[in-house]
Amino acid sequence: MHLNAAGIDVGATEHWVAVPEDRDEEPVQRFGALTADLSALAAWLQQCQIETVVLESTGVYWMTLFEVLEERGFEVKLVDAHDARQVPGRKTDAKDCQ
């Protein structure tokens, strides 16, 4: 089990990010997809003492984020969005990242 892990639901224009509830007053946050947004996302994850990041993505939108996170020293894993859809409950970006 990865106690210092975060989940990200990757989108074309925004990314929803979840960290463990004890890491921030707002453990689920939304970031844009521009370079400055990705830097802010990585800085927030570092502030929250995250080591492992799991990306859920369709399409190619994950590639730049993956590179930014790897460059910052995170262990990054990409999961198939089709597998995540098997989780019961209503689908939302916030729930996907959690």
* pLDDT at res. 87: 54
Q: What CATH code is carried by the domain that includes residue 55?
A: 3.90.25
Give a yes or no: residue 32 inside a domain: yes
* pLDDT at res. 18: 97
Give a yes or no: residue 78 inside a domain: yes
Distances (CA, A) of 59 to 3, 11, 23, 26, 96: 28, 9, 30, 28, 16
Quick one: what percent of the chain has pLDDT higher than 70?
82
Give a yes or no: residue 40 inside a domain: yes
* pLDDT at res. 70: 98
What is the residue range of 48's domain?
A: 27-97
Q: For the chain, how many structural domains are there in total? A: 1
Give a yes or no: residue 82 inside a domain: yes
pTM: 0.85
Regions of the chain with pLDDT less than 50: none
* pLDDT at res. 57: 85
